[in-house]
Chain A
Amino acid sequence: MFRHLRTLQQVSRRTLSSSAPRQLENKVPLKQKLFQEDNGMPVHLKGGTTDALLYRATMALTVFGCGYVLYALIDAALPKKKD
């Protein structure tokens, strides 16, 4: 994402300059080849290792969050003894 922002900066600079700009390369055909490969991978993992890492991190937070919310709500529901 930050790479894209940097690219945006470069493209904007080139676009706004008066010299003929070297265009940002169109990578869509490459992506189309990658995501249409018949490897049985679901779309959310088809991009490669980064997909798997991000998925695992998200799922880990989800599972942890489920446990934490149950603990927090049960704890909130129980009466606290005052000393």
Chain B
Amino acid sequence: MAHQAHAYHMVDPSPWPLTGAIAALLMTSGLAIWFHFHSTTLMTLGLILLLLTMYQWWRDIIREGTFQGHHTPPVQKGLRYGMILFITSEVFFFLGFFWAFYHSSLAPTPELGGCWPPTGITPLDPFEVPLLNTAVLLASGVTVTWAHHSIMEGERKQAIQSLALTILLGLYFTALQAMEYYEAPFTIADGVYGSTFFVATGFHGLHVIIGSSFLAVCLLRQIQYHFTSEHHFGFEAAAWYWHFVDVVWLFLYVSIYWWGS
């Protein structure tokens, strides 16, 4: 089938960039329509289209790599660059929210009482659930590394177990954080403290969910023999993303939970 005289991947024409772009249009316009006219139909349609696009686009990439053999070493190098650049862009995304936090907390205005935490805010105890969350994510970093070594050494059963454990730890973090959100004595509407806390930790939580989902897909692929001991870039990308999520949490914990209390 390959009639090419080079090691690069000329992809087949695909409809998913178009459907993805339309999904983005529908979600953004839908957001505006929801805000002004209280209807969520457009936004929901956009969300469904986004999910369909993601499923089919990434399914196609798996087909191209694992089943058609298009992911040669130069192609894989490009994929590595791509994932690293994407994670770097996400680092900058979070840097913005940390900037906002430090801007408000290093020089608290008189309206806040001239102090941080602001007057009237009871911050969460950093040595209770937040510390447990830190331990959970650090442990998940260990288990994902265990999974990687298992894959490289051809230890199928161990790879499945350690990857499953990583995902469970991720879900445990999410559940604990959801409980914390519910029980918190302050809300997102409680001034700049509430805003910086919930926007920064909220986006982090979303990334934990994304990372857990990515790892779950890797688990299904590992079970189905997609990964070899030499070639398992999908898993490596998921592991990189997971370590990034872990590091962001460490910064959040030290800055907002600990120093910020």
Contact = CB atoms under 8 A, between A and B. Distances in A.
B235 to A, nearest CB: 15
Given A58-B49, A73-B29, A76-B36, A43 B42 contact: no
A65 B67 contact: no
Interface centre among B12, B48, B160 (most CB of A within 10 A): B12
A26 B258 CA distance: 49
Q: What size tier do the contact residues of chain B reach?
A: 35 or more
Given A7-B223, A68-B45, A43 B26 contact: no
Nearest to A64: B45
Nearest to A30: B67
Contacts of A12: 160, 164
B52 A57 contact: yes
Max chain B C-beta neighbours (<10 A), residue from A35, A58, A64: A58
A24 B223 contact: yes
Given A8-B220, A58-B52, 20 more contacts: A27-B225, A32-B67, A36-B67, A37-B1, A42-B12, A42-B13, A42-B14, A44-B14, A44-B56, A58-B53, A58-B56, A59-B19, A61-B52, A62-B22, A62-B49, A65-B23, A65-B26, A66-B22, A68-B41, A72-B42
Contact of A72 (B33, B220, B223): B33
Contacts of A58: 15, 19, 49, 52-53, 56
Interface stretch (B58-66, B81-89, B145-153, B246-254): B58-66
B226 interface: yes
B25 A76 contact: no
Nearest to A46: B63
B49 to A, nearest CB: 5
A76 B164 CA distance: 48
A7 B41 CA distance: 35
5 contacts: A35-B67, A65-B22, A65-B45, A68-B42, A76-B36
Interface residues of A, number: 37
A78 interface: no
Q: Which of A11, A32, A35, A59 has the most CB of B within 10 A?
A: A35
Interface of B: 1, 11-16, 18-19, 22-23, 25-26, 29-30, 32-33, 36-37, 41-42, 45-46, 48-49, 52-53, 56, 60, 63-64, 66-69, 157, 160-161, 164, 219-220, 223-226
Contact of A65 (B32, B46, B68, B225): B46
A76 B33 contact: yes
A69 B25 contact: yes
A8 B223 contact: yes
Nearest to B226: A28
A40 B215 CA distance: 33
Interface string A1-30: 000100110011001000000001011100
A34 B157 contact: no
